[in-house]
Amino acid sequence: MVLSKIALSLPLLAGLAFANPVPDWNDWSNTGSTTTPVKSSTTTMATATTTTTTSVSHATTTANGHWGWGADSSSNTMSTTKATTTSAGGKVSSASSGQWGWGAGDSSNTMSTTKATTTSAGGKVSSASSGQWGWGGGDSSSIKSTTTSTKAAASSTSITKSSSSSTSSVTKTSTTSTKAAVSSTSITKSSSSTTSSVSKTSTTSVDWVNKYTATAPADVLAAQATAKSSSPTSHVPGKAFDRFVVIWLENTDYNMSVADPNLAWLAQQGITLSNYFGVTHPSEPNYVAAVSGDNYGIDNDDFIQIPANVSTIVDLLEDKGISWAEYQEDMPYAGFEGVGYVNQQTQANDYVRKHNPLVIHNSCADSERRLSQMKNLTAFYDDLKADKLPQWMFVTPNMTSDGHDTSVTVAGAWTRNFLEPLLKDSRFMKNTMVLVHFDENHTYTIQNRVLGILLGDAVPTSLAGTTDSNFYDHYSEISTVEANWDLHTLGRWDAGANVFDVVGKKTGDKIRDWPAVTGSQYSVYLNTSFAGAFSDKITPREPIPAPNITMVHNGRSVLPSIVKAWSGASVGTYYKDTVEIPDGAHPPQKWY
C-alpha cells in the first residue's frame, strides 16, 4: 500500500455544460483505438495488413539512453534496446531486423505512424519537414517518445504506412521521472480498429491522457483557474434502484470494521454483507477490478495507464443514457490525472490516483468530457444543492478520511457524518442504494474478507439491520448495476459475479455459492495477484486478455462496441460465466 512517488503531469477538466439528460455518448465511445506509452522495456506489436506510401524524417542526433533505430523487415516488432550512440538516428547496433527505432525530436513529440521499406540498419527515411520523429521498421503503432532532443533533419529513403492494423499499449510507471519512463508494456491487437494517420508537428491532437499530470503547487494552482467540470443528469428507472452510490474505505479487517460504532450504526440502517471480499492486494487492483471487471495481475500501487480498448462500467452506463460522476475528496481540480496531491499545510497524503479507477483507464482519461465528470468532493455538494446529482456515483474519501493513513475509527466517523444527513435529504434519496465497503483487509496473510453495507431508501425497511451472508466481491458492484438497469456486460469477471440478493430478487438473478471461499474448510484467500500485464512480482507477464465476447448471463450480453473492438483479437480470453475468480494461488487455467 505504499504510495507511488511519481509526479507525472496531466489533464485538467471540469465545467462544460452538457445537455440534459446525458449527451450523445457515441461521440466518445471506445472502439479499440490505439494508446500511447512513452518508453517500454517489454513490447510486442501487432502486424499490419495493408500499406500505402509516404515519407518522414529521421533524427540527426540523440542523447545516450534515447531509443535508437532498428532495421526494416516483415517481423514488425519494436526495439526495446536503448541507443548508446550519438550518431545520426541513434541507431541500435544490435537490433534484429524488423524492429522499430527511435530518433530524437522536438517539444511537440510528434511521431510518424509509418515504417521504412529499406533493409539497411535503421531504415532511415527522407523527404519530410525538420522536427519530426524518425522510424525503423515495424507496424502502425502510434507509440512516441516523450524525450526531446535535437530536431530531426531530412534524409533519404521512402517509407510505407500501415493502414489497417490495431495496437493497444499498457503503460505503467514506477519511477519519479517527469518523463514517465515505462517499466512494462504489453500490446494487444484488435483487427477491427484502425491505425492513426501520419501526424505533423503543427497538427498534433490533444493528449488528454498525459497533458496535466503536474503536481507542483504552482502548476496545480494555474490549472485550477481554468479547470472545467460537468454535471450531466438523467432519469432512467431501474428494477431495484434509480441511483447507485458506492463509498470506498481502506484497509481494515472485517472483525475490526464491524466493531466500529459508527459503521455499526450504518449497518443498522440497512444490510450487512458478511461475506464480501476484495479480489487481491494492494489497493489499486481492487479499485481497477470494480470498474472494468479484472485486476490484470496488478500487484502494486504504481502509476498505471490501462489501454483505451479496455472498457469500463462508464461505457455500459453511457450506452443506456445513465449519468455518472466520481467525487474524490481533495482532488485538486476536476480531471486531474497526477499521481497524487498532498495537503499543502500539513503535507499529509490527500488525493491519490490509485484510488481513482476511472482515470487509470485510458478509455476514460482520453476524453475531455469524461475527465470533466471526475470531480472534487466539494462538487458533490454543489450538485446536491442544484439537484443535479447523477444516477451512478463513485465516492472516495481522502487518505485520512478513508482510514488508510489513520484508523477505522476515523473512517467510520467520516462515513457516518457524510451519509447521515443525506439519508434524510430528498435530493439524494431518490430510490437510492448506497454501498459502503472497504477495498481490502489489513492482514494480508488471512482471507481478504471486508465489511460491506447496503443502505438507502431503495433497501426495504423490513431488511434494516439484517445480514446477507452470500458470497460477493468487487465484481458484484458491476454486476448489480448491470442487472438493475439491464445493461450489457464487459465480458470479464463482471458477467458471472453474484448480484446483491436484494436486487437479484427483482432482476431474476440467482445467487451462486463458492464454498472454497465461504465454507468452513475454505481454501481460497483472494489475497494475492496472478501474473498479468502489470505484475511486478510474478513473471512472465501475460497480455491483457480479450473479453469473452460470446458470454451471456441471465440475458445480458457483452456490449456491442466491445464485441466489435475485440472480434478477431490475437490474444485469447479466460473469462467464464462463474463466480469463481483467479488469484495468485489459483491463476487463470485456460486461455481459449
Where in the sequence numbering do the catalytic residues fall? 405
> Could you tell me the three cell numbers for 311?
472498457
Q: Is 302 within 8 Å of 21 (Cβ atoms)?
A: no
Residue 344 CA: distances (Å) to CA of 136, 220, 330, 332, 350: 46, 11, 11, 11, 9
Distant-in-sequence, close-in-space partners of 551: CB < 8 Å, separation ≥ 6? 489, 491, 495, 496, 557, 558, 575, 576, 577
Single out the residue of 355, 354, 366 nearest to residue 308, CA to CA: 366
The beta strands (E) that lie in 175-227 are given as 182-184, 187-188
**What is the residue type of 210?**
N
Instruction: Give yes or no for a contact between 78 and 86, defined as CB atoms under 8 angstroms apart.
Output: no
Asked if 245 and 393 count as a contact pair (C-beta separation under 8 A), the reply is yes
> Torsion over CA of 528, 529, 535 and 540, rounded to 10 degrees?
110
Strands 243-249, 432-438: pairing is parallel
Rounded to whole angstroms, the maximal C-alpha distance in the chain is 79
Least Cα distance to 299 among 172, 119, 147, 470 occurs for 172
Q: Which three cell numbers stand for residue 564?
A: 466489435
Q: How far apart are CA 148 and CA 167, in angstroms?
A: 24
DSSP states of 411-478 as a string?
HHHHHHHHHHHHTT-TTT-SSEEEEEEESS-S-TTS--EEEEEEESTTS-GGGTTEEE-S-EEHHHHH
Q: How far apart are CA 553 and CA 557, in angstroms?
A: 7
Number of neighbouring beta carbons within 10 Å of residue 427: 13
